[in-house]
Structure 1
Amino acid sequence: MARSRKSDDTLTKAPLMKRLARWTLFVIVGGLVLAFMATLSLRLVGPWMTPYQIAESRRLGGIAQEWVPMENIAPAMARSVVAAEDANFCRHWGLDVNAIRAALESGAARGGSTISQQVVKNVFLWQGRSWVRKSIEAVWTPVTEAVWPKRRILELYLNEVEFAEGVFGVGAAAPHYFGVDAGDLTDTQAARLAMVLPDPKDRNAANPTARQRERTASIMDGAATIAADGRAACFED
């Protein structure tokens, strides 16, 4: 007796669905392997230009950036950005659940992103607020925490974050704003650089407003606090 057309269609679709499932699994596993290898490669070497830096370089006709190893960056700079952006940097595994919950409850636009999350976004991904990017970032961030020491994560952050339009990293920002090397930044200068985050295009570390001076003072207090209570231990010698 001849089989029904519906039965034939079902038999035809079954191998197709299996192939699709295999290819989907292959893409996912391949993506995870590539992500791990890219993360592992940056444990010791400086990164390539990030997607955002490439876009800005094309838009502006060039950018300023100079890689500076952590030992040549003023300790006050590292403490200042941690105090300003992620005070519990040494105490979380990449995602600060309490900060995320607080941000969601308050409706904050920044969403409680840690420095580790920002490094993943800045180095590997793209800008914007899409759920796709945030989901990838949430998965990738714990991988970086497992592969990179905290000091390395902060070193990448300080060298990749934007401090002014087209000015990336503290190695370029210190001379741009203050005419000094990254290792010669004073506590106040370091706090002012941290103050421009996360709005470097509209804030000026060399000429802050009264409110920005207050923010700078608050960052200086925070930097001193995390140095005293041990929350800077994971990235300091």
Structure 2
Amino acid sequence: MVKKIFKIVRWTMALLFVSSILAVVVYRFIPVYFTPLMISRCFEQIEKGEDIKLYHDWISLEEMPPSMPLAVMASEDQRFLIHHGFDYDAIQQAARAHLEDGKKLRGGSTISQQTAKNVFLWQGRSWVRKGLEAYFTFLIELMWSKQRIMEVYLNSIEMGDGIYGIQACAEEHFGLDAKNLSRLDCALIAATLPNPRKYSSKYPDDYMRRRVRWIDRQMRPMKPFPAEH
């Protein structure tokens, strides 16, 4: 009986391993139209008795304004192009601030980690989910280009209530196609990303405007985001 259980567990683990790699390979080439977060948000809306709100339109990185990748890097992950999925300097700084000043520990989550979480995993803070996040981050950094990671990130990240991706955000909050967003529009969208359900690019407050100015200053010395080779 024990051997039978062990065999089932072994084959289950092998199946999960193979399917995870296959999913990463497939998403290297095809658009990501739905994510676990989108589905869970829909269920939350149903539980609250609300109408389902799901706005999402996939576009290629070439159809996005050049300022958009720079804005999210300036805001979220300035070492994106040089790290391999994990920004150890940011993690150390966050841990040091927590130990020295008692500040709330921040994870130093990179764009790669956020992409892995958004596309393949559920929301939460358990050690199991964090371990799987690290695993999928390693896989996408190994199998995808930085351009593909950025493309998936900007198409899948939550940017408002029921709004996912840059094209849907541009349409719902600015009345534009994403390609027509200005540099400051991109900085404004990036400024919402720590908490897009609290901060709105459609109705920015004073804090948001200060964030936009800071992001814009960070963007100025940055080189254009590199095209796919």
TM-score relative to the length of structure 2? 0.88
Q: Which amino acid aligns with 1:50?
A: T
Instruction: After the TM superposition, list the runs of 4 or more consecutive aligned residues in structure 1 that deviate by more than 6 angstroms.
Output: none
Bigger Cα displacement from structure 2, 47-56 vs 34-43: 47-56
Match of 1:5 in 2: none
In structure 2, how many angstroms separate the alpha carbons of the residues matched to 1:64 and 1:150? 25
Picking from 61, 65, 78, the partner of 1:70 is 61
Structure 1 residues 109, 159: closer, same or farther in 2, change over 3 A?
A: farther
Match of 1:163 in 2: 159
Q: In 1, are the aligned partners of 2:35 and 2:118 still within 8 Å (CA)?
A: yes
Match of 1:49 in 2: 34
Match of 2:48 in 1: none
TM-score relative to the length of structure 1? 0.85
Match of 1:91 in 2: 82
In structure 1, how many angstroms separate the alpha carbons of the residues matched to 2:18 and 2:61? 28
> 1:143-185: per-residue Cα shift (whole Å, max 9, x none)?
1111111101000010111111111110100121111110011
Q: Which amino acid aligns with 2:151?
A: E
Match of 2:118 in 1: 122
Picking from 177, 180, 184, the partner of 1:184 is 180
Question: Post-superposition shift, 1:28?
Answer: 2.5
Q: Which runs of 5+ in 1 are unaligned?
A: 1-14
In structure 2, how many angstroms separate the alpha carbons of the residues matched to 1:182 and 1:148? 23
Bigger Cα displacement from structure 2, 69-78 vs 96-105: 96-105
Q: Secondary structure at the match of 1:61?
A: coil
Question: Post-superposition shift, 1:19?
Answer: 4.3
- Structure 1 residue 35 and structure 2 residue 26: aligned? no
Question: Post-superposition shift, 1:48?
Answer: 3.7
Q: In 2, are the aligned partners of 1:159 and 1:169 still within 8 Å (CA)?
A: yes
Q: In 1, are the aligned partners of 2:159 and 2:193 still within 8 Å (CA)?
A: yes
Question: Post-superposition shift, 1:21?
Answer: 4.0
Match of 1:145 in 2: 141
Question: Post-superposition shift, 1:226?
Answer: 2.4
In structure 2, how many angstroms separate the alpha carbons of the residues matched to 1:88 and 1:135? 22
Structure 1 residues 110, 159: closer, same or farther in 2, change over 3 A?
A: farther
Match of 2:101 in 1: none
Alpha-carbon RMSD across the aligned residues, in angstroms, is: 1.8
Q: Secondary structure at the match of 1:163?
A: strand
Question: Post-superposition shift, 1:20?
Answer: 4.1
Q: Percent identity?
A: 35
Q: In 2, are the aligned partners of 1:160 and 1:169 still within 8 Å (CA)?
A: yes
In structure 2, how many angstroms separate the alpha carbons of the residues matched to 1:110 and 1:160? 22
Match of 1:133 in 2: 129
Question: Post-superposition shift, 1:201?
Answer: 1.1
Question: Post-superposition shift, 1:225?
Answer: 2.4
> 1:71-124: per-residue Cα shift (whole Å, max 9, x none)?
000010111011111110001111111212222232344401111111111011
Question: Post-superposition shift, 1:207?
Answer: 2.7
Bigger Cα displacement from structure 2, 47-56 vs 165-174: 47-56
Q: In 2, are the aligned partners of 1:87 and 1:226 still within 8 Å (CA)?
A: no
Q: Which amino acid aligns with 2:36?
A: P
The structure with more radius of gyration: 1
